[in-house]
Amino acid sequence: MNTKLYKLMNWARIEGVVYSEEDHPHDILGAQIVSGGTLIQTFQPYAKQVSVSIKDQNHMIPMELVDEEGFFAVLIKDKSKFEYNYQTVLKDGTVKEVKELYNYEPTVKERDARKLNAGLHYEVYDMLGAHLREMNGVSGTSFAVWAPNAIRVSVVGDFNHWDGRINQMRRIANTGVFEIFIPDVGEGEIYKYEIKIKGGLIVLKADPYAFGAQLRPDTASVIRKTEGYPWKDTKWLNNRKEKQQKDAPISVYEVHLASFKKPESGDEFYNYKEIAPILADYVKDMGYTHVELMPIMEHPLDESWGYQTIGYYAPTSRYGTPEDFMYFMNYMHINEIGVILDWVPAHFPRDTYGLSNFDGTCLYEHQDPRQGFHPQWGTLLYNYGRPEVRNYLIANALFWAKRYHADGIRMDAVASMLYLDYGKKDGEWIANIYGGNENLEAVEFIKHLNSVFKKENEDVLLIAEESTAWPMVTGDLKDGGLGFDYKWNMGWMNDFLGYMRYDPYYRTHHFGELTFSMIYAYSERFILALSHDEVVHGKSSLIGKMPGEREQKFANLRASLAYMMMHPGKKLLFMGQDLGEFNEWNESREVEWNLLQYEEHQGIHQLMKALNAFYKSHPSLYKLDHKHEGFEWINNISANENIIVFLRKSYEESETLLVVCNFGGNAQDNYKIGVPGPGKYKEVLNTDAVLFGGTGITNPRLKQSKKEECDNREDSVRIKIAPLSVCVFQYTRVNELLTDNQTAREKAVQKGKKAVRKKSGLKKELEKKYQEEERGV
């Protein structure tokens, strides 16, 4: 080595590169202007010889090996800017061209990294992760990751033999962000981050912001793009606000994609593109308005059903690529079906290639296991007090709405986030600064997320799975609420299913469990959920919970489904329960479609189809869903008979429905019930109809009310009620008859006109009142 070149060598920094402990490699590698020309340095551990090939020049400039590990350098007596590559002779004699990657400007600006540090970079997924781009006319991929406590971070993959010495990344100031642009690395390439942590240990980590991932059991991230898809769902998006407002009918079909239907080809899963038309056809035929997908974010364990997420920004590769999932979402929207995504911001698995101990420290989780570990689930809990962690999750929720057009986000396990002692014993948790069990940081995180999310996605639903009595979950943020649109009504689900498990003889003693839900029905905006959680792990399927012989089980299930659809609140039903599966759900098998060949199962299927159609076509079941004016008890005290009677109402009196539920085991022949007024009552739905697998005890003829007091009402009717059934009546009010012929008719006409004007005025007044309340006037 000549003396001049020797004196230009920064041996300490060279050693840092060679021993892969350099976090500012761009300061030494590549072309640097120095006294006497341009110093070019490269580290190529597999090279025997390296020469510089300057563009538009025909000769090579040999480089000197200044460190036997593969560090080469050369001084070119030219200070002008020029383009060059390396011609490398490998140790096996192979010659290849290597492009310089340390002459590019940073792909991450310091001010953007500072926004991440403040927890305010809501499009951070465009900064961190792997992104296809062109730099100085060269195509490649930029990589960026947040790992503030790492000594050094490198990108590794097939493109560099998984050798962390080759593509060492640059630290951006003191933001904790590392970045690099690597030429000629394209879509579909697999990669990880090799992180050298304090103490010298090296760990391999999947990219937290990766848009794609390998199919388990492989664990590498995959370079994918999420922009440029030719969406055709503009019509749906333009109408979404109307379809998802509080007074719209919402009936959700909860789906686990892997086990909805299995391919006849023998493949393990359908592709997103293949399952889309199959699912859409079924959902449209059944009349559901939405599907809710159990988590499709990348996860390592099939048996976790997606609730132990590793790749928050990557649709699971079990069913295809991000573009395939965009096709799925687009297809659903074209078919007028909304899509709600399950999302898990409460905890994450301990798999060593994921977020746990990411840069050698507890970066995403708490260090103290009493704060950072959930003993029941064996998972780690997010540290919501760290701005970058909050940013990671908030941006992720926004990402699914923006990039994949999600119509709703259902937040899993909210109760475990709100309470520090959730699922923990004494000594396994730490109180907050006030000595309480409320997780104050999680509360602020939720409010922050919901505030930002709603500003950008006013018409996308935010749904909380929250199982406690935490107040104002769906309350307005301005009033101290958490800001969700809906909350799963776990209280109704537990009480009602508990009640239905009893033999009708014993239900009398648990009658309060049937009626209790109406005491708090309007304290929140609820979704009545009969979800996957209720049909696994020894809990039995819905029909399996029902008492009695086979015939009674089916009757109980029909009554249960109808009661859910008549009760105030939006609706959710897990797949398979709408055809009466006896077996518990198992993620390894498909829905038992073969059951539809049997009449009794076909009856359940036809009933649920009819219930969805009935629900959507009767405004009284949804127009005032969140207002107490939309519900009125007729009879909630007949515990001995296990019969309840109530009204569902809308703005129009003519749309009022009279609902009669018999959860007792005896038929009632000539049963007297109070009615809201004089008129004719027509049965419009009965779960005991033969079409639905019932015995046919129905009320086919109109019922004329009589002036006989019942249920504290002046008028009443007498009806037949089948055991274990629900029947619904629509009524037409009839004014009291007058005796004088012509005069009576004239008076009736005048009275009718006045009534119409009065009713029209009342309707407008009511609508105005509710609209003002919605706006907070």
Report, as residue numbers or ranges, the catalytic residues: 412, 465
679-686 and 668-675 strand pairing: unpaired
**Position 645, amino acid:** V
Burial of 659: CB neighbours in 10 Å, binned 0-12, 13-18, 19+: buried
| Separation between Cα atoms, residue 47 and residue 50, nearest integer Å | 7
Task: Note the helical H segments in 335-368.
Answer: none
| Separation between Cα atoms, residue 8 and residue 72, nearest integer Å | 13
Element (H, E) at 280: helix 272-286
SS3 501: helix
Residue 361's alpha-carbon distances to 118, 145, 366, 529, 638, in angstroms, are 20, 15, 10, 39, 62
**b vs e for 464-491, b when ≥16 Cβ sit within 10 Å of the residue's Cβ?**
bbbbeebebbbbebeeebbbbbbbbbbb
| Separation between Cα atoms, residue 403 and residue 314, nearest integer Å | 11
| Separation between Cα atoms, residue 381 and residue 335, nearest integer Å | 38
Among candidate residues 280, 29, 22, the one with its CA nearest the CA of residue 154: 22
Reading the block at residue 346, the tokens are 């409460």
Q: What region does 92 belong to: left with phi over 0, alpha with psi -120 to 50, or beta?
A: alpha
| Separation between Cα atoms, residue 660 and residue 655, nearest integer Å | 16
Reading the block at residue 152, the tokens are 């050094």
Are the C-beta atoms of residues 402 and 460 closer than 8 Å to each other?
A: no
Reading the block at residue 275, the tokens are 């399952």
DSSP readout, 181-193?
Answer: EEET--TT-EEEE
Q: Alpha-carbon dihedral of residues 31, 35, 37, 43, nearest 10 degrees?
A: -30
SS3 496: helix
Q: What number of H helices and E strands is found in the chain?
A: 18, 38
Reading the block at residue 512, the tokens are 């309060």
**Position 217, amino acid:** P
The CA-to-CA distance between both ends of the chain, in Å, stands at 82
